[in-house]
Amino acid sequence: MTRDPNDRPDRELPSGEEALIAAFWAPLAAACPGAYGLKDDCATIAVPPGQELVVTTDALIAGVHFIPEDDPTSVAWKALAVNVSDLVAKGATPLAYVMNVGLPSLDRAWLEAFSGGLRVAQQAFGCQLVGGDTDRTPGPLSISITAFGTVPSGRMIRRSTAQPGDYVYVTGTIGDAALGLALLQDPQTGTRCGLDEAASTYLAGRLSRPVPPLALAPVVRACASAAMDISDGLMKDFDRLCRASGVAGRIEAGRVPLSEAARAILACGGASLTDLMSGGEDYEVLATIAPERAPELERLAAAAGTRTTRIGDITRGSPGAVAVSASGEAITFVKSGWDHFSQP
């Protein structure tokens, strides 16, 4: 036990955990009566009649999911976005979240920027902070968020209910975040491929500030037979969806939607299409849809301003996913996506 009462905070700060909560977290909870101003031990969440709560939890750890020097407003955005991404892909409407923060030091400027970033993110995503726990840690900065959304009872869209014959759709573009990370690790790639600053900034932003397709949640709920978010790589997550559903899935690689910046890097050989299809952190929605619902999906998604692209099909067959080239040949992946615990 290292509960050292002489442990000194690093900078001038409001004294005590309650003052810290009041200064940085309570303003984020002000609009939600069930948060009780973060002054009580628990929050209450009233779920409207006929609805049920959808719950997800994801953590960001400095040195694993972000760089300690990253802009705190982006870290805050991403910590909430990765959770909202799960809700949206399940057809749920974001409602609230609780947050555990482990702080290696107390830095007023960092806390102000981080809580400011959360304010912007929760406004964008339509949810409120309702509770949390702030601890000192001898380890890296860590942020665990548990997010809540609502769906009409029984209407959460699962990953295990895809049907043979379904079409496969994704939102947005694939692989941008992986390229953002690649540029961070080797900035020369951008120069080599003639990327301008706007394109580099775009890719970096896709890594640091993913924007889950919020407007798609009701469309997913209305149309999709199965859905999940793409966080560990398109191929890995599609494979998971197919195995969970007990179906075979096929992606036509040429149909995978790419940004202009990604096309430029592909064209100059700075990355391969399989890199993009197995790169993590897209935070887009992968959905399967019965063919007769597809026109409705496309119409509703367009009306919501969300880009959707049909990239493949679900068939009977051995459960799992494959990608094929334009000529129909299977494409081999060295690594289909990211796994924290994979054995190399």
- Stretch 31-50 residues interacting with a copy of itself (CB under 8 A): 34, 36, 39-47, 49
Looking at residues 268 to 287 of the shown chain, list those that interact with a copy of itself (rule: CB under 8 A). Answer: 280
Kindly tell me which of 332 and 342 has the beta carbon lying closer to a copy of itself.
342
**Among 72, 132, 175, 190, interactor with a copy of itself by CB under 8 A:** 132
Residue given tokens 């026109």 in the structure block: 295
Establish if 294 lies at the interface with a copy of itself (CB under 8 A): no
User: CA of 24: how far to CAs of 37, 135, 144, in Å?
Assistant: 12, 14, 16
- Helix H or strand E segment including 287: strand 284-289
Kindly tell me which of 131 and 312 has the beta carbon lying closer to a copy of itself.
131
Establish if 338 lies at the interface with a copy of itself (CB under 8 A): yes
Kindly tell me which of 319 and 324 has the beta carbon lying closer to a copy of itself.
319
CB of 213 closer than 8 Å to CB of 172: yes
- Closest separation between CB of residue 54 and a copy of itself, Å? 5
Establish if 186 lies at the interface with a copy of itself (CB under 8 A): no
User: Which part of the chain contacts a copy of itself (CB under 8 A), choosing from 13-21, 168-176, 187-195, 291-299?
Assistant: 13-21
Following DSSP, what letter does each residue of 120-139 receive, concatenated?
HHHHHHT-EEEEEEEEE-SS
Establish if 69 lies at the interface with a copy of itself (CB under 8 A): no
Q: What is the CA radius of gyration of the chain?
A: 21
Establish if 10 lies at the interface with a copy of itself (CB under 8 A): no
Establish if 191 lies at the interface with a copy of itself (CB under 8 A): no
CB of 78 closer than 8 Å to CB of 125: no
Helix (H/G/I), strand (E/B), else coil: 211? coil
d(CA 214, CA 55): 16
CB of 229 closer than 8 Å to CB of 304: no
Q: Report how many residues bind a copy of itself under the rule CB under 8 A.
A: 89
User: Which part of the chain contacts a copy of itself (CB under 8 A), choosing from 12-20, 196-204, 249-257, 298-306?
Assistant: 12-20
Establish if 8 lies at the interface with a copy of itself (CB under 8 A): yes
Looking at residues 196 to 255 of the shown chain, list those that interact with a copy of itself (rule: CB under 8 A). Answer: 228-229, 240, 244
CB burial of 4-42 (b: ≥16 within 10 Å; e: otherwise) equals eeeeeeeeeebeeeeebbeebbbbbbeebeebbebeeee
Task: Report the amino acid identity of residue 175.
Answer: G
d(CA 7, CA 3): 8
Establish if 332 lies at the interface with a copy of itself (CB under 8 A): no
- Closest separation between CB of residue 151 and a copy of itself, Å? 7
Establish if 107 lies at the interface with a copy of itself (CB under 8 A): no
Looking at residues 143 to 182 of the shown chain, list those that interact with a copy of itself (rule: CB under 8 A). Answer: 144, 146, 148-149, 151, 153, 156, 158-160, 181
